[in-house]
Amino acid sequence: MNLEGLISFETAKLAEEKGFKKLCDFSYDEDGILTGNCEQSYNYVAPTQSLLQKWLREKYKIHIVVYVMENSDGNIYYDFGLKRIVNYLSDNSSKPMEFSTYEEALEVGLQEALKLI
């Protein structure tokens, strides 16, 4: 399995606090060390970003949208937005945040979505 798509330790702690309990192939211990065995006692499950994103979408109807943007210097960056089916939850303020990768933007979007629960 590609570890690149796993959520960060900070996001795993927040997801656990908000009720995410699905078994995954990996987990973090109390010190944030990634372990490959989720069958033993674990502290924080480490799902992929897409699995957590799906859980937020299905359970709480929160959709995380990652945008590809271009700044005034012509550099590409990423930003995110959080939406529900009916109403808009966050507009990320008037100045967009700039992330260098899609995954970084998605990770912060996941954290912000979890905080809304």
- Gap between the Cα atoms of 15 and 55, Å rounded: 10
Instruction: Dig out the tokens for 81 from the structure.
Output: 């937005």
User: How far does CA 69 lie from the centroid of its chain?
Assistant: 19
CA 28 – CA 85 distance, rounded (Å): 32
Strand arrangement, sheet containing 76-84: 62-70, 76-84, 88-90
Digitized pLDDT (tens) for each residue of the chain, 117 residues in all? 457 799 999 999 999 999 998 888 899 988 999 988 665 566 899 999 999 999 999 999 899 999 999 999 999 999 999 887 544 445 444 456 788 999 999 999 999 999 988
8 Å CB contact between 101 and 69: no
Look up residue 27 and give its two tokens: 């987990």
Which pLDDT score is estimated for 116?
86
**What pLDDT was estimated at residue 99?**
87
In this prediction the pTM is: 0.79
pLDDT at 88: 46
Angle at 21 (CA atoms; ends 18, 24), nearest 5 degrees: 130
